Amino acid sequence: MSRREMSTSPNPESGRAAKRPRVEHLTSESFKNGVFLAPMVRSGALPTRLMALKHGATLVWGPEVVDKAILHAERAVDPLTGVVSYNGKSRAIFTTHQVEKPYLIYQIGSASPELAVQAAKTVVQDVSGIDLNCGCPKPFSTHAGMGAALLSKPDLLCDILTALRRELPPEVTVSAKIRLLPTQAETKKLVERIVRTGVSALTVHCRTRNMRPREAALIERLREIVDFVQGLGVDIAVIENGDCQGWEDAKRIKKLTGASSVMVATAAESNPTCFSSTPLMDLETTLIPSYLRMSKYLDNYWALTKFCVSQFKAPRTERSKSEAHEYKTKIIAAKGYDDLTELVGGGSGEADFAEVVSAIQSRRPRRLIVEDSPTELEAPELDTSASSADYSSEEDLPLSTPPDRPNPEPPTLCAPLGPSTISRMPLPALITGSDAITPSPTPKAVTP
């Protein structure tokens, strides 16, 4: 394990940078009028979530973790940084930090009420909400009855949500993320059952199970579902997911759909500052150096950091395409953080982390208000270093799925540790003594 020596202290606030969260706990109101970072295996790593929060994300979802994977993990707190790691035999399965706890939703992959509850209880002290993944269409998830397979097993889906709601403390929210079903009638039927389980929020990824990520999301179908939920008289937030490009675009989507909030995945994978009304450009100078230094300080798994950085893309004003390419190539060629000193400067990264922590802790409420409200209430931007974005060059459009990526979802699966086919399923760590290998990143993006 590459991580530093850790304390297994049960106190999650033992890290130096950790402070008592200001938000006591989330309610269904907390899921309204926001723009959220979507759950993303690998791409939703801790440094990315922290950057998203710094730049205005209202709440952040962690990457899906399959229930059984976390059950055998050992919780440890880095006494230097306060990073909380759930360690498997050979590496961390999930990492977090107290500074994100007030905003952090932990996503579970499960097909069992009992395992889901156990998994949720394992991490509950470090998160504010538990979300059930009911939308991943990848074989790894669906063959085990998880993810999108739950869409065709509504009894089981609702049993899991009901069990989570019943067994978890009331201050921890329970939510679900689904996809659209082929027809509106089927979707509404499922939605009605889900909202009656006591969830605080329901995210609807506006693609059906069979749709490719590159196909345009069927956003226009959501309005009817939102109205339907309102008609049921239950106070839960309906969150739109699909094709949102960031804060400004979220206004359009909210207005179109009537959704309570909007969730962003691919665009945030490209640029975690898209939650700002002035997202950073020239990421090679404005974001990546501090991202890398902070990741080093947090001892974030190097291959994961490298993968996330390899996905970053935004308009450039300072560098040519070839210069930016050269910069990324150097990062990709690096074997570890120590190889980057020339590129991003020395130092421990502590100051970068402290700055992010301070920005998150000094956030003022920021609400995405459209339609009936004449004003949009917005706190001053936390980071004013960026000039206003110029997205005029189509070649540089940063916030869409890159054309060379056939599938922006994690390669072949939605679980962090699993293989692409059933025949390559690993034996559990308890039997083999070592954790399954993380799926290797898209070959084009990262050369190990």
Ligand X SMILES: Cc1cc2nc3c(=O)[nH]c(=O)nc-3n(C[C@H](O)[C@H](O)[C@H](O)COP(=O)(O)O)c2cc1C
Catalytic residue among 134, 136, 158, 244: 136
d(CA 446, CA 307): 6
Q: Rounded to an integer, what is the distance from CA 38 to the centroid of its chain? A: 4
Output the smallest distance, CB 208 to ligand X, in A. Answer: 12
Closest CA to 100 of 365, 379, 360: 360
Pick 139 or 408: Cβ nearer ligand X: 408
DSSP 8-state assignment for residue 7: B
- Calculate the dihedral angle through the C-alpha atoms of 246, 252, 255, 258, rounding to the nearest 10 degrees: -40
Listed in sequence order, the DSSP H helices in 282-435 are 283-286, 288-297, 302-311, 321-333, 341-344, 350-361, 429-432
H helices, E strands: number in the chain: 16, 12
Measured CA distances, 261 to 18, 58, 145, 163, 313 (Å): 28, 10, 28, 26, 25
Residue found under tokens 């993006």 = 445
d(CA 385, CA 380): 13
d(CA 324, CA 283): 9
Output the smallest distance, CB 44 to ligand X, in A. Answer: 7
Output the smallest distance, CB 109 to ligand X, in A. Answer: 8
Pick 6 or 157: Cβ nearer ligand X: 157
Pick 135 or 258: Cβ nearer ligand X: 135
Pick 43 or 261: Cβ nearer ligand X: 43
Output the smallest distance, CB 388 to ligand X, in A. Answer: 23
Backbone dihedral region of 168: left (phi > 0), alpha (psi from -120 to 50 degrees) or beta?
beta
Neighbours of 2 (CB within 10 A): 12
Pick 138 or 316: Cβ nearer ligand X: 138
Active site (annotated) includes residue 206: no
Judge contact between 38 and 44, C-beta under 8 A: yes
Pick 133 or 276: Cβ nearer ligand X: 133
Output the smallest distance, CB 249 to ligand X, in A. Answer: 10
Output the smallest distance, CB 322 to ligand X, in A. Answer: 26
Q: What is the DSSP string of 259-297?
A: -SEEEESHHHHH-TTTTSSS----HHHHTHHHHHHHHHH
Going by DSSP bridges, is the β-strand pair 201-208/173-180 parallel, antiparallel, or unpaired?
parallel
Residue found under tokens 């506006």 = 206
Output the smallest distance, CB 407 to ligand X, in A. Answer: 8
Pick 409 or 435: Cβ nearer ligand X: 409
Closest CA to 247 of 278, 223, 269, 217: 278
Name the maximum alpha-carbon separation found in the chain: 60
d(CA 43, CA 33): 24
Output the smallest distance, CB 374 to ligand X, in A. Answer: 28
Q: Rounded to an integer, what is the distance from CA 355 to the centroid of its chain? A: 21
Which residues contribute to the site for ligand X (CB under 6 A)?
38-41, 43, 63-64, 107, 133, 135-136, 177, 205, 213, 217, 241-244, 264-267, 269, 408-410, 414
Pick 45 or 287: Cβ nearer ligand X: 45
Instruction: Give the active site residues.
Output: 136
